[in-house]
Structure 1
């Protein structure tokens, strides 16, 4: 019985030792798992912190990139605005040049027409003066020096008319080659066989001397020719 009891106690000790060893193994294994989990947790925390720091750095970089992008967009908008403005200015300049060219061509055409008219008018006047000189020579030969006949010839060839009244008004046109319709006039009054100049438009120089010469010569026909020549000279120079 004692032997059986002793064997039972040994088995119990072995069992308890085995159980203790198993518990120790489980405890050690638990500790290892706990340590591994703690290590993994710490690694996860470090990784999360690194990711967070990386995200912060990336966010800052992204913000800087956004700022740069906004600056580039502003610069692009300014460049496009300047380009549009330059394009508009270029278009306006082109239109101005085109308009100026058209105006210049029109002016050239107008000047050419005016020159042609001037030359034509000068040619007509030249022929008319030649005809008048021939008529005046004929007057001298035949002896027709009456004022009425002289006025008739001047009216026919040189655009001349006389307006009678208390004084006699002599009106000319076809004097200015540029503006043949412009009128020039002077008005003379006779009192006691003496001529006096009442009006002259435009006013000419040396009129008093011309009137004195008229009173000395009593040649009204010559005076009319001189006045017309003076008007023509004034129209050519642009001043009386």
Structure 2
């Protein structure tokens, strides 16, 4: 039994040693297998890891590059905006310069025109001043002539009893015609309209008035018509006198008076409407009408009419 137990221990030892040997062999084989498998894989893994690291680094660099690119794009946009603004400003300056040059040309033309107008106005003012000086001189003459006319009218009123009154037409009144009644009034009224003279009234009434008015419209000689009317009034007065009155001195019906010694030359362009009452000429040397029965051979009894009195002939209108 001891031999069997002894042999059993040996077997156990043998088996244990064999187990150890097998384990060593297995471990060696495993190491070999691990070394065989692990070498390429490790290299591959290392390569993959290196590539992964490189890729990650590249991605980081790419992100940085993209950020730089965005910044560059933003800067480019800003630069382009500044450039655009500068170009727009330059275009605005060009337009402003062009408009300013155009305005300068317009101002130059305007100044030239004003200069020409100034010269024309200076000439016009010079001419107007000369005309004003002449007008002042003429006004002084007209003032003197007006006083002379007033004096002449006063003389007519005194010597001939002549009076003119304006209204609907012009009324001519005479006195100093009737020898018996020197203050007796003889009058007639003439209206002028549409280039036609019309006799509105005659006191006392005279014959042949229509023919006389027709002749007045033909000749337009109002002063001659007035003289003729006075002669007619004188004839009518003589026809009213009795037969023995023919022996009466003719001087009783005529006032001898000298007209004012004056010379009046009236320019109708310088007259006022008040001065344009009648345009007549009284000639001292003019012969009296041959049909006037009141002529006297004695020069002292004749009515003296001033040859120097000239009153402008105008048409009498209502």
Normalising by structure 1, report the TM-score.
Answer: 0.44
Give the structure with the higher percent helix: 1
Normalising by structure 2, report the TM-score.
Answer: 0.34
Q: Based on CA coordinates, which of the two structures has the bigger radius of gyration?
A: 2
